[in-house]
Amino acid sequence: MIANKLIADIHCIEPIPCNPCETSCPFGAITIGSDITNLPVVHEDLCRGCGICLAVCPGLAIRLLQMDNGNNRAIVAFPYEYHPLPQKGDLVTVVNMEGLPLGQGTVTRLQKPIKNDPTQLVFVEVDPSIAQEVRSMERLKDNDLEEELIICRCEEVTRKEILNAIQKGDHSLDAVKRRTRAGMGLCQGKSCSKLVSRMICEQTNITPDQLAPASKRQPVNPISLKTMASTSDKPLFRDLDALARELDNEVK
Amino acid sequence: MNDSKIDLLVIGAGPAGLGAAIEAAKRGVKVLVVDENAKPGGQLFKQIHKFFGSKEHMAGTRGFTIGEMLLEQAREYGVMVMLNTLAWGFFANNVVVVKQHDQSYSIQAKKVVLATGATENTLSFKGCTKPGVMTAGAAQTLINLSRVTPGEKILMVGTGNVGLIVSYQLMQAGAQVVGILDAAPVVGGYDVHANKIRKAHVPFYLGHTVVEALGKEEVIGASIAPVDCNFKPLEKEGFFVECDTICLAVGLSPRLDLALNAGCPSTYEPLLGGSMPWHDQRMRSMEDVYVAGDVAGIEEASTALEEGKLAGVAVADELGLLAKEEQGVIYEEIQSRLDKLRSGLYGDKRRQAKLDLIERGCTR
């Protein structure tokens, strides 16, 4: 194998009827032959490492491999069809055929070899000692899903909205409340204020004892405007003895 | 606006509120207790287990029986308890506005005791808004007051005393507890409570947390996983537990909204539930306003009752109704009962936290 050149490396292992790799290669670098169940053969001298075969292979059974990139590091590229995608420069955990971690690698490039086809190739720089075994990478956690978690149920404010507010400098319960409405709903922050406090503390250097409780305004419980407006001109009670008798009757 | 006038207005008819009302009324203070609920007693009538403590704390008596005894005493001393009455605002000059039916009324009191209790903490995880996820207190209300079980297979999150006791009571109500978990590596509550459910072969998943409530329309199971040293779940090691209800027993927070409205200074004490109104050794938070029970720091019902009594006596004292021979002595009596409740493995820490809090004064 040519060590310093990026070349297709096929781990197609079964005689199944399939040959897109052969027909898609613009350089004639892959041969299957007339029997469509033959296993493909790569002609290393013809392969230019364009990656088209990686994206067309229905079994995702091809990778690109360069054992030495000139800096004693190896480059592996593999198709990756999950969301979210890694970004250039990300440190990812590369895995073997069984999905077991081999070590860390740095994403050097992302490429879509076929126009209008979403299959993405991820190029990862790894230590040459593990390069032969690398087949893919560990799936990245979908933070979006986590960020869609509802923190304030009453006002349906998500974790993402609160994180954004904290990032914009809202470092108190009141500030987050003003921007996002978290804590302004029916329960008046009884469910979410500790969750929001924890998020502020996690994202900043603030400790929980430094966080003042959110300001509380009357009415402390939800009541209708009518109730608030109809504050009685008559007192609730005048004569305590009469009240006592009345309440006593209620109990009985 | 036409204010009704009263010597002492107590907000909340739980153990702390009733304790304060009884002690004040006993000494001749005219007391009105308001509570938003249809029944008095606060959480006491949900407590079907026997309480700890000594004879003077009514130990060995079930919570709801203590509630009945308190109501009887309240009647005996002429405490007026007004139910279905929500206190929604605290204004200047000790004017509290309450709602009855669709009308609001204002009450002006010489002294106010806030015994507003606590609210339950929640957790956020994937699927936590699905039907079937509820707090442990909600489940306890369903089984012990409404007499319905929230589900057949319960997963309890949290091994504090609330999680342990409610797990036991859910089993008594006919449900199965498929597991109880805690992010901490050890059980949070009393071992004797834990043993009640260990004897029923309930699996304990310590050092675990719930990652996701699974199910399309409602909970059909949970994904739970061990946590690392930063309490982050190791999701790869997660596994499935079949359940139809996930109960959250992850602590309580003082319900301090009215206290803050009143202008009480607040302070922070993690051992007592976080942010809370500050108070002195006689439960006074500010001129004319006292706090007692869980709003003055999360503890338990017997302590709440004693704190209430302390506040009630202090109010009587302020109003000049404390008999000479009681001066000093009565405070010591109540304080010594409180100290006994705050002793032992868990209590000592709470007692120290209370002392520190009183000593350092109001911090904000």
**Minimal C-alpha gap between B100 and chain A (Å):** 9
More confident of the two residues A243 and A178: A178
pLDDT exceeds cutoff 90 at B58: no
Q: Does A233 touch chain B (CB under 8 A)?
A: yes
Partners of B107 in beta bridges: B4, B96
Nearest Cβ partner for B257 among A195, A208, A220: A220
Residue type, B206: L
Q: Each residue of B299-327: b (16+ CB within 10 Å) or e?
A: bbbbbbbbbbbbbbbbbbbbbebbeeeee
Residue type at B279 in one-letter notation: H
pLDDT at A172: 96
pLDDT of residue B290: 98
**For the residues of A25-69, what is the DSSP string, one character each?**
-TT--EE--SSTTSPPEE-TTT-----HHHHH-TT--EEEEES--
The token pair at B125 is 């995880």
* pLDDT one-digit tens code per residue, B213-252: 999 999 999 999 999 998 899 988 999 999 999 999 999 9
- What is the pLDDT at residue B124? 92
Q: Is residue B1 pLDDT above 70, yes or no?
A: no
Contacts of residue B91 in chain A, CB cutoff 8 Å?
218
pLDDT at A252 over 60: no
Higher pLDDT, B244 or A252: B244
Q: Where are the domains of chain B?
A: 4-119+252-360, 122-248
- Tell me the CATH number of domain B4-119+252-360, given options 3.40.50.300, 3.40.920.10, 2.60.120.10, 3.50.50.60: 3.50.50.60
Query: Does the beta-carbon distance from B36 to A219 stay under 8 Å?
Result: no
- Alpha carbon of A71: minimum distance to chain B alpha carbons (Å): 34
Give yes or no for A192 touching B (CB within 8 A). Answer: yes
CA distance linking residue B206 with residue B79, whole number of Å: 46
- CATH homologous superfamily of B122-248 equals FAD/NAD(P)-binding domain (3.50.50.60)
Compare CB distances from B4 to A238, A244, A251 and report the shortest one's residue: A238
Chain centroid to Cα B105, Å, comes to 27
- State which residue of chain B sits closest to A245, comparing Cα positions: B80
* Domains of chain A, CATH where assigned: 7-137 (no CATH), 144-221 (1.10.10.1100)
Terminus-to-terminus CA distance in chain A, angstroms?
Answer: 96
Query: Chain B within 8 Å of A151 (Cβ-Cβ)?
Result: yes
What element of type H or E holds B245?
A: strand B245-248
The closest alpha carbon to B140, from B241, B11, B212, B245, belongs to B245
pLDDT at B321: 96
Enumerate residues 31 to 70 of chain A having a beta carbon within 8 A of any beta carbon in chain B: none
B73: enclosing H helix or E strand:
helix B63-76
Q: What was the pLDDT predicted at A247?
A: 83
User: pLDDT at position A1, please?
Assistant: 66
d(CA A170, CA A177): 9
Distance of CA B30 to the CA centre of its chain: 26
Taking the C-alpha atoms of residue A216 and residue A184, their distance in angstroms, rounded to an integer, is 10
Whether the CB-CB separation of B156 and B334 falls below 8 Å is answered with no
Chain A residue with minimum CA distance to B250 = A194
Asked, colleague to colleague, whether B4-119+252-360 and B122-248 share their fold, the answer is yes
List strand residue ranges (DSSP E) for A81-128, in order.
91-95, 101-111, 120-126
Q: What is the pLDDT of residue A144?
A: 67
With CA atoms as reference, the chain B residue closest to A141 would be B235
**What's the CA gap between A208 and B300, in Å, rounded?**
23
Counts for chain B of helices (H) and strands (E), in that order: 9, 20
Instruction: With H, G, I as helix, E, B as strand and everything else as coil, classify residue B238.
Output: coil
Place of tokens 């005219």: B30
Q: Which helix (H) or strand (E) holds A245?
A: helix A240-251
Q: Name residue B112's beta-bridge partners.
A: B9, B289
Query: Cα dihedral sign for B300, B305, B308, B310?
Result: negative
Q: In this prediction, what percent of chain A has a pLDDT beyond 70?
A: 98
Please write the tens of the pLDDT for every residue from B81-106.
Answer: 999 999 999 999 999 999 998 899 99
How far is Cα B116 from Cα B291, in angstroms, rounded to an integer?
8
A chain contacts of residue B97, beta-carbon cutoff 8 Å: 218, 231
- pLDDT at position A173 over 60: yes
> What is the rounded average pLDDT of the residues B57-83?
90
Residue-wise pLDDT for A57-69, tens only, equals 999 999 999 999 9
Q: What is the mean pLDDT of chain B?
A: 94
Residue B13: its chain A contacts at CB < 8 A?
none
Residue of B nearest to A199 (CA): B124
CA distances from A216 to A174, A195, A206, B259 (A): 10, 17, 21, 9
The pTM of the full predicted model, rounded to 2 decimals, is 0.80
Flag if A213 and B106 touch (Cβ within 8 Å): no
The pLDDT of B155-168, averaged and rounded, is 96
Q: Which residues of B touch A241 (CB under 8 A)?
A: none
pLDDT for residue A241: 84
Distance from CA of B177 to the nearest CA of A (A): 25
Answer yes or no: is pLDDT of B364 > 60: no
**DSSP conformation letters of B185-201:** SS--S-HHHHHHHHTTT
Q: B46 and B139 in contact (C-beta within 8 Å)? A: no
pLDDT at residue A38 is higher than 60: yes
Distance CA A78, CA A92 (A): 13
B113 SS3 class: strand
Q: Which of B4, B75, B275 sits opposite A213 (nearest CB)?
A: B275
The residue of A145, A160, A200, A232 whose CB has the most chain B CBs within 10 angstroms, and thus the best one to mutate to test that interface, is A232
Provide the pLDDT for residue A65: 96
- Please compute the mean of the pLDDT values over residues B189-212 and round it to a whole number: 94
Closest Cα in chain A to B260 = A216
For residues B211 and B187, is the Cβ–Cβ distance under 8 A? no
Q: Answer for the pair B295, B118: CB distance below 8 angstroms, yes or no.
A: yes
Contact indicator for B149, B142 with CB cutoff of 8 Å: yes
Q: Is A168 on the interface with B (CB under 8 A)?
A: no
Residues 6+ apart with CB under 8 A from B68: none
Which pair of tokens denotes residue B137? 């207190």
- pLDDT at residue A236 above 90? no
**Chain A with chain B: Cβ pairs closer than 8 A:** 122
Confidence class for position A193, pLDDT limits 50, 70, 90: very high
Given CB atoms, is A226 within the 8 Å cutoff of chain B?
A: yes
Scan residues 89-148 of A and list those with Cβ closer than 8 Å to B: 141, 145-146
**How far B147 CA lies from chain A's nearest CA (Å)?**
23
pLDDT at res. A115: 83
**Structural contact between residues B207 and B180, judged by C-beta atoms closer than 8 angstroms:** no
CB atoms near residue B276 (< 10 Å)? 27
Residue percentage of chain A with pLDDT more than 90:
70
Query: 3-class SS at B106?
Result: strand
Cβ–Cβ < 8 Å for B227, B207 = yes
Look at A122-131, A231-240, B175-184, B275-284 and tell me which has the smallest mean pLDDT.
Answer: A231-240
Q: What is the mean pLDDT of residues A39-55?
A: 94
Give me the interface pTM, i.e. the ipTM. 0.86
